[in-house]
Amino acid sequence: MKVIVPPGILERMRRHGEETYPHECCGFMLGSAEDGMQRIVEIRSQANERTESRENRFLITPDQFKAAESAARKAGLQLVGIYHSHPDSPARPSEYDRDHAWPWFSYIIVSVKGGKADEANAWQLKEDRSGFEALKLEKGD
Amino acid sequence: MTKVRVEIPTALRAFAGNQDTVELAGETVGELLVELASAYPQMKKHVFDDQGKLRNFVNVYVNDDDIRHLDKEQTRVSARDVISIIPSVAGGSDHSGNGALTQQQVQRYSRHLIMPEVAMEGQQKLRHARVLVVGAGGLGSPVLSYLAAAGVGTLGIVDFDTVDFTNLQRQIIYSTGDVGRPKLEAAADRIRAMNPDVRVELHEDRLTSENALSILRGYDVVVDGTDNYPTRYLVNDACVMLGIPNVYGSIFRFDGQASVFCRENGPCYRCVYPEPPPPGLVPSCAEGGVLGVLPGIIGTIQATEAVKLILGKGSSLSGRLLVLDAMKMHFRELKLKKDPHCPVCGEHPTITELIDYELFCGIRGEEMEAKDLGKEWEISPKALEEKIKAGDDLVILDVRNPEEAQISRIPGSTLIPLGELPERVAELNTADQLIVHCRMGGRSAKAVEFLRSVGFKKVKNLVGGINAWAEEVDKTMARY
């Protein structure tokens, strides 16, 4: 599967990760989904609701989820995924990410090294929850 | 059996034939979930863990209520209810920020690490802390230096000034070679040289009602190193609104104060000082001077309080005002109480967004007063020079203090400090052409006003004071 992300949107995710560094940032990705492809149209940054360990954990609450879902519906879009940052850590899912992941969603992870956004990669949980599959991250327009 | 509607989140719809709602039979939430798992077996492992318990990021709502606040899985349902599965989303990197310090960091922080009150846990808290220092001046210098040395991970600085020779007597983060450089640039260089672990965030801006909330947001502690009332009230109000502790310090001549505001149950600056003093009543350090060491004492107290807040150790200065008289070297402590009627942090706040602080503190009022003099009551340094060259008969009246007259003096001037003018006005003659000056033009404007009120008509204020004279006419003269 591939995820199509306009460069401006990817840049905003990277910025968000830099702004919250050394803490993790997080947010929703809104767009459309078809067979084998998700197209990201908009992101909605979220406050990381963790009260501690924000340098390596993030949390989005059900209330935030409901609000984002209704915003997506109003915009004629779907919630298709989640982005978050890994401060001073690689742009690949951790065991904790796997344990907490939802199927079907795409997950974009931005590595932020010393406050500067570095690599970004897209992932999707395998249906048997055994791990993640790397998605092709394509720059749309 | 009752059929109940269950809403399926997008992430799970693929396992339910892409339906957003399914109808299932059951009397309780638990029964419905079991039913869901047997109808759509692929969904099961995403909703339940290996022990068959609901995964902790799967939230089930009956109408608008989380079942955790009802009878959990035993919550009874009827055909009128709508059950929804609402995700919470969690994740994070493997890199626990509590990862080991490098060998060099262990050495650098060893005197912290061996103390039980700090230890590895506290040092990690410092490393992940974000502190904003407003004002990189006399107080900001020791605050930034000690917090950087202590290993505070992120230091934000707000300032828009450049380093000036008059700063060097107390602003120890700057060196002589920094004169003329932006303060932020010079301070950041110094901090990075002291401790490369520190990430410096620069806000090269005057703090205003428009930008304050967005600059302060996200910091754990704010240290107030400002030198004026409008910014002090602005920092206080923004801290209250964002719930960030405000480590306060102020200095004047030989006197200093420190406290911690905006802590839970503790007072804010406004609880203690609801109104600013009338403009002009309390001179600034630029007008009244300050002992260079004093910001070192008060600033290090602020840095200590900031570190304690980050560590969550000890008793902070919240609810206490520490007052220092350095001349007697005497510390006093005043008890401060939260004011339930405080307009910002009280029970019924009337100030809920940032206001115009310059107006609140009457700064503009003061400017207007000075401007009201009008052109015919003013003279520029160049025009004064020409009058002197032309041999006009002039009396130049210096209304500064004698200490200032020792720094610089326009030749032939008469010294009568502003405070003594009313009682010594008889020494002046209304027939003379009088030119009045001070350092910058403010005090002399007041003197001109006073002289006019007692009948002087040939009197003019030297615009910009002796500093402007030094800049435009006598370049050999020192400005201060």
Burial-class residue B28 by CB neighbours within 10 Å (0-12, 13-18, 19+): middle
- Which pLDDT tens digit goes with each residue over B248-262? 999 999 999 999 999
Q: Can you spell out the DSSP letters for B142-208?
A: HHHHHHHHHT-SEEEEE---B--GGGTTT-TT--GGGTTSBHHHHHHHHHHHH-TT-EEEEE-S---
pLDDT at residue B364 in the model: 42
Beta strands A37-46 and A2-5: pairing type? parallel
Nearest residue in chain A measured CA to CA from B197: A114
- Which pLDDT tens digit goes with each residue over B264-274? 889 999 999 99
Residue scoring higher pLDDT (B376 or B140): B140
- Which pLDDT tens digit goes with each residue over B380-424? 999 999 999 999 999 999 999 999 999 999 999 999 999 999 999
Q: Give the mean model confidence (pLDDT) for residues A89-111.
A: 91
What does the alpha-carbon distance between residue B363 and residue A110 come to, in Å, rounded to a whole number?
A: 47
Give the active site residue among B285, B342, B345, B361: B285
Helices (H), B97-182: 103-108, 110-113, 119-128, 140-150
What does the alpha-carbon distance between residue B179 and residue B175 come to, in Å, rounded to a whole number?
A: 7
Q: What is the share, in percent, of chain B residues with pLDDT greater than 70?
A: 96
> Across the interface, which of A58, A103, A115 has its CB nearest the CB of B11?
A103
pLDDT at residue B96 in the model: 54
Residues B93, A86: C-beta atoms closer than 8 Å: yes
Q: Assign B168 a pLDDT band (cuts: 50, 70, 90).
A: very high
Residues B94, A95: C-beta atoms closer than 8 Å: yes
The answer to whether B438 is a known catalytic residue is yes
Q: What is the share, in percent, of chain A residues with pLDDT greater than 90?
A: 73
**Nearest-CA distance B63 → chain A (Å):** 13
Strands (E) across B187-315 are located at 199-203, 221-224, 246-252, 255-261
Domains of chain B: 3-87 (3.10.20.30), 129-366 (3.40.50.720), 373-472 (3.40.250.10)
Q: % helix / strand / coil in chain B, to the nearest 5? A: 40, 20, 40
pLDDT at residue B367 in the model: 41
Would an 8 Å CB–CB cutoff place B20 in contact with chain A?
no
DSSP code of B176?
Answer: G
The separation between CA B14 and the C-alpha centre of its own chain, rounded to angstroms, equals: 51
Would an 8 Å CB–CB cutoff place B45 in contact with chain A?
yes
Is the confidence at residue A39, as pLDDT, over 80?
yes
What does the alpha-carbon distance between residue A98 and residue A93 come to, in Å, rounded to a whole number?
A: 7
pLDDT at residue A94 in the model: 87
Scanning the structure block, which residue is given the tokens 């902790």? B56
Query: Which A-chain residues 52-111 have CB contacts (< 8 A) with chain B?
Result: 53-62, 65-66, 69, 78-80, 82, 84, 86-90, 93-97, 100-105, 107
- Which pLDDT tens digit goes with each residue over A44-63? 999 999 887 888 899 999 99
Token pair recorded at residue A43: 């992101």
Nearest residue in chain A measured CA to CA from B214: A19
Q: Assign A95 a pLDDT band (cuts: 50, 70, 90).
A: confident
Q: Assign B308 a pLDDT band (cuts: 50, 70, 90).
A: very high
> Across the interface, which of A82, A86, A129 has its CB nearest the CB of B89?
A82
Is the confidence at residue B366, as pLDDT, over 70?
no
Q: Assign B94 a pLDDT band (cuts: 50, 70, 90).
A: confident
What does the alpha-carbon distance between residue A42 and residue B76 come to, in Å, rounded to a whole number?
A: 39
Residues in chain B with CB shorter than 8 Å from the CB of A79 are 10
Is the confidence at residue B445, as pLDDT, over 70?
yes
pLDDT at residue B368 in the model: 40
pLDDT at residue B370 in the model: 52
Q: Assign A87 a pLDDT band (cuts: 50, 70, 90).
A: very high
Token pair recorded at residue B90: 């969690």
Residue B260: name the closest of B231, B235, B278, B228 by CA.
B235
Residues A62, B154: C-beta atoms closer than 8 Å: no
Residues in chain A with CB shorter than 8 Å from the CB of B127 are 22
**ipTM for the predicted complex:** 0.88
Q: Assign B130 a pLDDT band (cuts: 50, 70, 90).
A: very high
Helices (H), B361-454: 363-371, 381-389, 402-405, 421-424, 442-453
Residues B97, A107: C-beta atoms closer than 8 Å: no
Q: Assign B358 a pLDDT band (cuts: 50, 70, 90).
A: confident
Residue B57: name the closest of B68, B70, B65 by CA.
B68
Residues B92, A94: C-beta atoms closer than 8 Å: yes
Domains of chain A: 2-139 (3.40.140.10)
Query: Which B-chain residues 188-247 have CB contacts (< 8 A) with chain A?
Result: 199, 218
Residues B90, A61: C-beta atoms closer than 8 Å: no
Scanning the structure block, which residue is given the tokens 């984002």? A68
Query: How many Cβ contacts (< 8 angstroms) between chains A and B?
Result: 120
Residues in chain A with CB shorter than 8 Å from the CB of B87 are 62, 65, 102
Strands (E) across B225-329 are located at 246-252, 255-261, 320-325
User: Going by C-beta distance under 8 Å and a sequence separation of 6 or more, which residues neighbour residue B393?
Assistant: B432, B433
Query: Which B-chain residues 56-75 have CB contacts (< 8 A) with chain A?
Result: 57, 59, 61, 66
Nearest residue in chain A measured CA to CA from B154: A22
Is the confidence at residue B295, as pLDDT, over 90?
yes
The answer to whether B262 is a known catalytic residue is no
- Indicate whether this model's pTM tops 0.90: no
